[in-house]
Amino acid sequence: MIEFFNQGGYAFFVWGAFGMTFLLLIAEILLLRQSRRTILTRVGRLARLRAQQPQPAEPASPQPEHQT
Amino acid sequence: MTINWFKYASPAAFYPIAGRLVPVFSIAALGLVLFSLYWGFFETPERLGGSNPQKEYYRIIFVHVPSAWMSMWLYLVLAAWSGIGLVFNTRLSFMMANAIAPTGAIFTFIALWTGAFWGRPSWGTYWDWDPRLTSELILFFMYIGFMALHSAIDDSRRADRAAALLAIVGLVMLPVIYWSINCPDPNNCAALHQRSSLTQIESNILTAMLTMTLGFWLYSFATAFARLQGIILTRELESAWVRDMVSGPTPAASGG
């Protein structure tokens, strides 16, 4: 076991290389998850905001009835 | 039967497809990487080469070569999507290029980092202004430049086109990296990387290296598609389909 982690005396180089590789890959996954959550929250908030307003039926056509 | 491929060129149509592909590629990538790590550390010899062999540190090859390959391949794919975007003016192509860039930059950095950790025990130095090392560093700056230019321009359509143009110009770096090895006569020109051939490599080492490459490739698919989903949502925030997707089943009741 110790022999395995020692890598023939080159532990610093071997684990330094593999460590940074998988640190970065895992960090990328975590950052992607976090940004996905942030975006979905934003989308959800925007949808709720829209739902509270009188909903325009057709997005393309301008709605003249602002005050009733 | 003909398939209308342009149907999937719409962000709204591709969003759910990307969502379904992410877990598939993630699981496959994880499996391949774990297999490669096992094979690379337990099924390979402790020495590489005949007289004056490389000792255990040669195992850095299992992350160094795959990440270096991915850094170049992803740049090629990024530039290809940029080119397709410029020719067909498809938004999804530009988004794809943007989704690939950070992953490519990470693999380029990993290639440089692991190269330094391999260079110290084998060449005696972490860094040298060798042609291949220098051109790989420039590739890293190309990725950074691509992302920086895109984020510096507020109008996303203009940012797409400007960054795409930069990506295509940067393609010139790929052949430079590829051929920046020793020429046939090392007395005329010397580079640290030597000409090598996959057929000369011991089969267990080759197995670990190639499965890691495939694993990194599938990982790139997974992260690119996951990032693509985020980019699509951010850019299409105002469009009807995003609104329907969010508030469709439960109209503005439960938030998260």
Within its chain, how far is the Cα of B15 from the centroid?
21
3-state SS, residue B62: helix
Is the CB of A40 inside 8 Å of chain B's CB atoms? yes
| Model pLDDT, residue B171 | 95
Question: Which residues form the domain of B81?
Answer: 15-47+54-242
Is the CB of A23 inside 8 Å of chain B's CB atoms? no
DSSP codes joined into one string, chain A:
-HHHHHGGGTHHHHHHHHHHHHHHHHHHHHHHHHHHHHHHHHHHHHHHHHHHSPPPS-SSSPP-----
Q: How far apart are CA B93 and CA B75, in angstroms?
A: 14
Q: Total structural domains in chain A?
A: 1
Q: How far apart are CA B122 and CA B126, in angstroms?
A: 10
Residue with tokens 């508030």: B247
ipTM: 0.86
DSSP letter for B48, please.
B
CB contact under 8 A, B230 and A9: no
Kindly give the parts of chain A with pLDDT less than 50. none
- A59: Cβ contacts below 8 Å, ≥ 6 apart: B240
| Model pLDDT, residue A28 | 96
- In chain A, the residue whose alpha carbon lies closest to the alpha carbon of B236 is A43
Angstroms from B125 CA to nearest CA on chain A: 12
Angle (deg, nearest 10), helices B91-123 and B61-88: 160
- B70: Cβ contacts below 8 Å, ≥ 6 apart: B104, B107, B213, B216, B217, B220
Classify residue B253: in a domain, yes or no. no
Q: Which of B103, B114, B237 sits opposite A17 (nearest CB)?
A: B114
Classify residue A46: in a domain, yes or no. yes
Q: Which of B63, B223, B243 sits opposite A21 (nearest CB)?
A: B63
CB contact under 8 A, B57 and A7: yes
Q: Are B29 and B215 within 8 A, CB to CB?
A: yes
Locate all alpha helices (DSSP H) within chain B, ordered by sequence: 11-42, 61-88, 91-123, 131-152, 156-170, 173-178, 203-235, 240-247
Question: Which residues form the domain of A35?
Answer: 19-51
Q: Which of B57, B106, B251 sits opposite A51 (nearest CB)?
A: B251
Classify residue A13: in a domain, yes or no. no
pLDDT tens, residue order, chain B (256 aa): 566 767 777 888 999 999 999 999 999 999 999 999 999 999 988 887 766 778 888 999 999 999 999 999 999 999 999 999 999 998 999 999 999 999 999 999 999 999 999 999 988 889 999 889 999 999 999 999 999 999 999 999 999 999 999 999 999 999 999 888 766 666 666 667 877 777 778 889 999 999 999 999 999 999 999 999 999 999 988 888 887 777 665 444 444 4
- Chain A hits for B230, Cβ within 8 Å: 32, 35-36, 39
Classify residue B1: in a domain, yes or no. no
Classify residue B85: in a domain, yes or no. yes
Burial class (CB in 10 A: 0-12, 13-18, 19+), B64: buried
Q: Which of B223, B242, B252 sits opposite A32 (nearest CB)?
A: B223
| Model pLDDT, residue B10 | 86
Is the CB of B106 inside 8 Å of chain A's CB atoms? yes
Q: Total structural domains in chain B?
A: 1
Q: Are B45 and B203 within 8 A, CB to CB?
A: no
Angstroms from A62 CA to nearest CA on chain B: 15
3-state SS, residue B171: coil
Burial A1-25 (b: 16+ CB within 10 A, else e): eeeeeebeebeebbebbbebbeebb
Is the CB of B235 inside 8 Å of chain A's CB atoms? no
Classify residue A26: in a domain, yes or no. yes
Classify residue B256: in a domain, yes or no. no
| Model pLDDT, residue B246 | 73
Classify residue B68: in a domain, yes or no. yes
Classify residue A5: in a domain, yes or no. no
- In chain B, the residue whose alpha carbon lies closest to the alpha carbon of A21 is B110
Q: Are B173 and B132 within 8 A, CB to CB?
A: no
Q: How far apart are CA B161 and CA B85, in angstroms?
A: 8
Neighbour tally for B222: CB within 10 Å: 24
Classify residue A6: in a domain, yes or no. no
Q: Number of C-alpha atoms within 13 angstroms, CB side, residue B57? A: 20
